[in-house]
Structure 1
Amino acid sequence: MGRYRNPVLPGCHPDPSICRVGDDFYLVTSSFEYLPGLPLHTSTNLVDWSPLGHALHRPGQLDLGGLASSRGLYAPTIRHHDDTFFVVCTVVGPDDGGWAGRTGHFVVTARDAAGPWSDPVWIDGVGGFDPSLTFDGDRVWLVGTEPMAEPRWRGHTGVWLVELDPGSLQPLGAPAVIWEGAMLGAVWAEGPHVLPRPGGGWMLVAAEGGTARDHAVCVAYADSITGPYEGDPGNPRLSHRDLGGTAAIASVGHADLVDDGAGRTWATVLATRLTEGADGLLGRQTHLVPVGWEERRPVFAPGIGRVGEVVEAEGVPDQLPPAEEFGDGFASGRFDAAWNGVGRHPEEFASFLDLGAEGWAVSLDGGAEPSSLAPQSFLGRRLPAADADVTLTLELPGPHMRAGLLLRTSELAHLELGLNGAGRVSCVLTDDGVPTTLGDGQLNGLSRGEAVELTVEIRGLGLRAFVDGTFVVEADTSPLVPNPASGFVGVWVGPVAVGAPEDRVRVREVVITPR
């Protein structure tokens, strides 16, 4: 009997999909507008996960430049077939279509999940989002979600299925709707996976209720992969929708299942964590749930029926304790797998500097304002804990630049503790696109290249900002909380540089300490 703590992937890791190859498990999650995209993790025991890289890991592989937050890379699925890994995903653009990049479903492949991954193979003639692949012998099927052409209620979607040519991965016909939700009037039947059912036949696992408090996991069964599918009479099979605002875990849904090779089944699901009844800054995270079987029907978290914060289960070891601190002084000369840029790769705006006896630094080119859709110079990573201290050490920027520490939910919602070339410090909260200066001050006697330490102490939705250990301001970060109305993406944190591309600022170190 082992004991582990959820989430098994902390920080904004929504829409998890999982597969097993031999003794190793592989997991992919959504990444929206961030690049490199589609982060991959690997594990040998399901509870301790290590970053492996990204399915979209190099410039030129796929363009996301100019996309607004909460668009981009939606709900990938990872599968392994014929000695090859497949990741299928959707690029979702703006509702008005006003974006020059390519949208739709694509597949990337690799022999080794660590890469390199192929360029995208685009799947023509199929709309919607949340795609998943099913391999049945030498046949390949694509399942996904799309709003119904003639909706009978708000949020009425259909789960469709289409066979693909196994060589070209192009549709062999028109998609056919196989599911419209377990409940009459159910909103957003989505996130589907078609999986073999124990004992024969097929099982459709899908989310519904929308990816917020009413989220749920529902199941349906069919003898043929093309249907008809009959809903489980106990639907939803897993949900926290009835627990109210006092629950610690909410918005449970978007399940994928995997067998562990030893006769046990597990599900990965997304869920949010509540603090005093309110959603926090981290967004949707990856949680692990044991699954039993009764009469060929899945039972999620047997005997409990909920996603636990601490779970005791057979088949997993005691989980290793989380790292107490992350620190990057950039001495490796490369960006680790957790660093991202908005719509472009870090290598496109940041470079490494060997400062000799002074160590290493990253040089950030000047970029657009954090509220802009133009190319930004934000080197961010997922905020890993609801309570955390983040310290950035950077040099005083040039006279025409501003640089600092950014907490980013989107271009419309972010908080910046910034420093300009004249030594002026300001803490600015942007809420729904409107900036408000919460506090400012002047650092005197600094010279170009002198190091300054910027720190934010995050405690739930409260924040305290410091410069070189001196308190600057206290802030309420509620405007940064992600929600379906304003955006799906949790908070990323890291250094930002604003100015002309030829202007540069040196970042010495980033330290993130969960509390």
Structure 2
Amino acid sequence: MSIEINDKQVFNNPILPGFYPDPSICRVGEEYYMINSSFVFFPGIPIFKSTDLVNWGQIGHVLDRQSQLNLEGEGYSGGIFAPTIRYHEGVFYVITTNMSNGGNFIVTARDPKGTWSDPYWIKNADGIDPSLFFDDDGRTYYTGTRTSKNPQYMGDHEIWLQEIDLNQMKLKGESHILWKGALKNASFVEGPHLYKINGFYYLLISEGGTQHYHSVTIARSKNILGTYEGNPGNPILTHRHLGKGYTISNVGHADLVETQNGEWYMVALASRPYGGDYKNLGRETFLIPVIWEDEWPLVSPGTGKVEFTYPIPILPTSFVSESEVRDDFDNEILNYKWNTIRTPKESFWSLTEKPGFLRLKVSQTGMLDNINPPPFGPFEKYKKVGNTQSPRFIGRRQQHINFEACTKMEFNTQNEYETAGIALIQNNNHQFRLEYSIENGQKVIRLIKCIAKINLDFKNATFSYENIESTLAHKVFSSEAVYLKVSAKGQEYNFYYGSSLNEMELLAGNIDGRILSSDVAGGFIGTYIGLFASSNGKYSNNIVDFDWFDYKSQD
């Protein structure tokens, strides 16, 4: 949202706060469309629309049905990686990777709100991070990231290109290696995008891995097949030289867009660490101005780093972004902000069985999974060892460092196995659960903390873990209507309960929230907060009704 500072209109970064990594953007006339990685969450690939590059409204998801998105067996950091959106001759194209279930594919639509097609799987397309480039001679090219033929080190990758026939959705001709990054022995070159500007082909990539050493680099060539020369100013964007104490970190994975007025901007992911080098919000989407000097892009002129405020683009504004939500569950479909974990094989929620309520069916599937190793590297063959089910969880992103979330729940728990409430989830085994259940014949409110001790043996490609679950607090409590609230001020999380909004009591305060950071838990995602119901491995036909859910910033 734009604000006034010293009589100049500026906007605040990030433009998409919370877990919205790997942004890709395209312009169609005077409208802009942007998408992000969604990993294990369903529906997949949120899609946003804007007219001013600052205020974005979500118009749906690209992958919103089972036939498009199989997430069975995926760990939280598996699933959908690094999608690219492009528009050509009346058709929108999204190309992406499903890490464990199919590989690289394309979906298309004439209306970006949907309905998008079922996947066209691209055979012989190795690696990840695919992108499409439409040349002015009518040819279309696929670019991607893959491991080098004879890798010499971890992350020894290369950017490759091959022509693609979009009528048959097949690669054709020979593949060509374009670049291996700006640095000697560059690690994890990824996220390639091609552009043709003033007779040059520009190849924009990221390298250094998607954490502290992340960076954006660029090369160019007069011939699409190369040879590509790197910008002597590479990297054109990074924060790795600013130290881990800097307020914005992990900058990388970018895409460029030109406005209808001839101005240029870059969208990129970055994180906001707080409470130390911890990033509960995950990787977020930032907007950075770009100018051109000596036929090279210059990012964030004058500072060379991502700033929290910039002058607002001179573009028409049609609406204002809104990251807060009061959901009264009065509609027949869920708000776009909500997701499930993995693709549900059956509908476990209803907004119509009890109008004005979100009803969850209690399930044997618990909130804890077996641990999954990283979705790449020497543990790849062990990826699909986790829970293959979708737990009864409907959640949204934590989008603010300081926030408050509250709900009203009706749940007549029948035994000690049945639980329901609010969960804050970072991954399989790093979470807090504020839940209502039964202990020793009495109904109770309790706060559960779960962490996992993981041991990875790279030499033998094996792993083991110890799941550690503990009750941080519990109180005997019985009520027909249960009010639950979670608030956070930085890394201090507070958990409340009560029989009405006016009678909320603190169950546990100043709880260290750092387990909700990927720096502790591993992986690539940000914190989700939402509603759950489980009978933890036992049969149940019980239900839970949530009257509303309120989330608001306290920043």
Separation in 2, partners of 1:340, 1:430: 21
Q: Counterpart of 2:244 in 1: which secondary structure?
A: helix
The alpha carbon displacement at 1:503 in A equals 2.5
1:193-228: CA deviation from partner (whole Å, max 9, x where unpaired): 01112x112000000111011111000001111111
The answer on whether the counterparts of 2:9 and 2:312 sit within 8 Å (CA) in structure 1 is yes
Separation in 1, partners of 2:51, 2:72: 36
Per mean C-alpha deviation after superposition, the further-off stretch among 310-319 and 84-93 is: 310-319
Corresponding residue of 2:494 = 464
1:255 maps onto 2:291 in alignment: no
Pick aligned residue for 2:39 from 12, 32, 54: 32
The alpha carbon displacement at 1:346 in A equals 10
1:370 maps onto 2:390 in alignment: no
* Superposition map of 1:228-377 within 5 A: 228-316=227-315, 323=322, 325-345=324-344, 348-353=347-352, 355=354, 360-367=356-363, 368-372=365-369, 373=387, 374-377=389-392
- Give the unaligned 5+ runs of structure 2: 1-7, 370-386, 453-466, 499-503
Pick aligned residue for 1:437 from 471, 479, 493: 471
Corresponding residue of 1:162 = 162
Separation in 2, partners of 1:349, 1:175: 45
The alpha carbon displacement at 1:176 in A equals 2.2
Separation in 1, partners of 2:315, 2:344: 36
Separation in 2, partners of 1:121, 1:324: 33
Corresponding residue of 1:186 = 186
Separation in 2, partners of 1:501, 1:121: 39
The alpha carbon displacement at 1:162 in A equals 1.1
Corresponding residue of 1:388 = 403
Gap change, CA 1:324 and 1:68, over 3 Å in 2? closer
Amino acid at match of 1:418: E
Gap change, CA 1:278 and 1:502, over 3 Å in 2? same
Corresponding residue of 1:73 = 80
* Superposition map of 1:87-126 within 5 A: 87-93=94-100, 102-126=101-125
The alpha carbon displacement at 1:398 in A equals 3.0
The answer on whether the counterparts of 1:264 and 1:315 sit within 8 Å (CA) in structure 2 is no
The alpha carbon displacement at 1:282 in A equals 0.5
Q: Counterpart of 2:515 in 1: which secondary structure?
A: helix
The alpha carbon displacement at 1:58 in A equals 2.1
Amino acid at match of 2:245: T
The alpha carbon displacement at 1:471 in A equals 0.7
Corresponding residue of 1:486 = 522
Corresponding residue of 1:209 = 208
Per mean C-alpha deviation after superposition, the further-off stretch among 149-158 and 41-50 is: 149-158
Gap change, CA 1:236 and 1:315, over 3 Å in 2? same
Amino acid at match of 2:368: S
Q: Counterpart of 1:315 in 2: which secondary structure?
A: coil
* Equivalent residues, number: 499
Gap change, CA 1:305 and 1:271, over 3 Å in 2? same
Q: Counterpart of 2:406 in 1: which secondary structure?
A: strand
The answer on whether the counterparts of 2:345 and 2:390 sit within 8 Å (CA) in structure 1 is no
Pick aligned residue for 1:41 from 29, 48, 70: 48
The alpha carbon displacement at 1:175 in A equals 2.8
Amino acid at match of 2:333: R
The answer on whether the counterparts of 1:253 and 1:270 sit within 8 Å (CA) in structure 2 is yes
The answer on whether the counterparts of 1:5 and 1:309 sit within 8 Å (CA) in structure 2 is yes
* TM value normalised by structure 1: 0.93
Gap change, CA 1:319 and 1:484, over 3 Å in 2? farther
Q: What value does the CA root-mean-square deviation take over the aligned residues?
A: 1.9
Amino acid at match of 2:468: V
The answer on whether the counterparts of 1:157 and 1:187 sit within 8 Å (CA) in structure 2 is yes
Q: Counterpart of 2:357 in 1: which secondary structure?
A: strand
Separation in 2, partners of 1:501, 1:183: 57
Separation in 1, partners of 2:63, 2:286: 23
Corresponding residue of 1:5 = 12
The alpha carbon displacement at 1:461 in A equals 1.4
- Give the unaligned 5+ runs of structure 1: 94-101
Gap change, CA 1:115 and 1:14, over 3 Å in 2? same
The answer on whether the counterparts of 2:424 and 2:529 sit within 8 Å (CA) in structure 1 is yes
Separation in 2, partners of 1:256, 1:106: 20
